[in-house]
Amino acid sequence: MQCVMDSIPASAIEPGGVAPTQEEFLINGLDSFSSVPFFRSKSSLTDYTSTSFSDHKDEKLVLRNKAPRWHEQLQCWCLNFRGRVTVASVKNFQLVASEENGPSSQEQENVILQFGKVGKDLFTMDYQYPISAFQAFAICLSSFDTKIACE
């Protein structure tokens, strides 16, 4: 058995690269970093990379923060985490595909990654295709970088 980690964002491996704290986060194609096997069995190695991934090698995925909506009763800007996030925090966020990718308006509202606080020093992370668990975790870790004028 072999697990393969693909597509590490170029900003994470470029010399002098910094954590992505901008509103938009660019994820490079699958060739931005060679596949790294991190678990191997004694049997022959098998690549479990999906062929659907290789069809989109040259495409870039740009993620952006989902715009919050004004909540009249609470008199504040809110995001709907569907019960998964329970504590207000500057670290809470939801990422959706940017208009640059050309998705339909319904796909633009499809949350690809959400991260938020659920207790003291306790957070939750939800992600889905097309990002990997590694990418999602790396993006979430970057939210622990200093938030200037927010804390």
Domain ranges of the chain: 2-142
Identify the pLDDT of residue 107.
Answer: 53
The residue ranges of the chain whose pLDDT is under 50 are: 1-8, 13, 19-22, 29-54
Identify the pLDDT of residue 22.
Answer: 45
Does the pTM exceed 0.95?
Answer: no
**Residue 52 dihedral angles phi and psi, to the nearest 5°:** -65, -30
Cβ neighbors of 90 (< 8 A, separation 6 or more) are: 147, 150, 151
Identify the pLDDT of residue 51.
Answer: 46
Identify the pLDDT of residue 105.
Answer: 58
Identify the pLDDT of residue 113.
Answer: 96
